[in-house]
A and B are shown apart, each in its own frame.
Chain A
Amino acid sequence: MSGVGSGALPDLAMLLGLACAGAALGRLLRLPMWPVTGSILGAATAPLIGAGGAAPPGWWAVAGQLLVGCGVGSMVGRDFFASVRRVVVPGSVVALVIVAVGVAAGAALAAGGVLGPAPALLGSIPGGVGEMVSAAAGLGADSGLVAGMHLIRLVVVLSALPLLLRWARRRYGRSG
């Protein structure tokens, strides 16, 4: 994998074009969370047409998060901050359990010899994908593999969530 920001302008334009085309196709096919799943699948085809190797500059990730954060924040209701206060304690317990299970899954992948310890652990813990990939690069592990594991998690989770939501609403009603 080349360094961040090392892509030539035509390659980067091609990468972005493929991501947009993938998103448009994802919308047409009604993929769950089509803007992100479609763009991932679209951009992942870049190596197939000889446009691989373009590494987006670091500000692309910052800009993406800024745009998402602004879009989400501007659509939340006035009770946003009350919700934050209400769920800090149960939320911390939930977060702790999810992270602990992620660590256990990574340790099992390493112990079973499926992957090396670094990619197994850094690729299995759900949280801070950018930080995990950076840590893998810093340790000399395969950061692309770590990114790929998180991509699989993201695509599978986003695809499965509509089913989980339907199950929960059918079983517990719309208001819980």
Chain B
Amino acid sequence: MSGAVTGPGASLPRAAVGLLAGAAGGLLLTWLRVPAGTLVGAVLGSAVAGSVVRARPHPLQRAVRTAGLVLIGCVSAARLDGHSLGILARAALPVLAAVVLLLALDAALARRLMKRHRLDPATAVLACAPGGLSELSVLAVKEGADVGTVTVIHLVRVLLVVLVVLPVLVLVLSRLP
């Protein structure tokens, strides 16, 4: 990603067009109830509009992204209460072990993507990481990885979980005594 040739003031209207188109895309896919549609619609909307108006990097984009991550962190933390924290503390080690297993899998899958599909290390590692779609997309921009590759692989993962795995799990779990 190259730096802005003109000053931030000159690139503000184009950056704003990209951001507004992202908001429209996100709201549209949310309204259509597409899984992960808010994030994906916003990425697609601003990517399309940004390339049409040839938007340049602007500090506003970083600020918008940071504000969104703080809001997501806030919402995530608010879901915890004292009782859940107690159970979580007792189960912390096995839960951590499962996360470490997923990280080892990340390394193995990333190695395969690098060898067979010639992805660069940052793109491969981030594409296989068991993290959140929002956070990994941001990290991909920060690390200079291929954002399209990282986003699409995580989108497939989320769609697989939401559309296939979760309905099956709910069906099975609701029949358990």
- Chain A residues in the interface with B (C-beta under 8 A): 1, 7, 15-16, 19-20, 22-23, 33, 35-44, 46-47, 52-56, 60-84, 86-88, 90-92, 94-99, 101-103, 105-106, 108-109, 112, 114-115, 117-118, 121-129, 131-133, 135, 138-139, 141-145, 147-154, 156-158, 160-161, 164-165, 167-169, 171-176
Name the residue among A139, A158, A161 with the largest chain B CB count within 10 angstroms: A161
B96 within 8 A of A: yes
- Chain B residues in the interface with A (C-beta under 8 A): 1, 15, 18-19, 22-23, 25-27, 30, 35-36, 38-47, 50-51, 55, 57, 61-62, 64-85, 87-88, 91-92, 94-96, 98-103, 105-107, 109-111, 113-114, 116-122, 124-132, 134-135, 137-141, 143, 146-149, 151-154, 156-158, 160-162, 165-166, 169-170, 173-174, 176
Which residue in A56, A65, A108, A131 is a CB contact (below 8 Å) of B162?
A: A131
B99 and A157 contacting across the interface, CB-CB below 8 Å: yes
A75 and B61 contacting across the interface, CB-CB below 8 Å: yes
Which residue in A23, A62, A68 is a CB contact (below 8 Å) of B134?
A: A68
Name the residue among B64, B85, B95, B127 with the largest chain A CB count within 10 angstroms: B95
A176 and B119 contacting across the interface, CB-CB below 8 Å: yes
B169 and A43 contacting across the interface, CB-CB below 8 Å: no
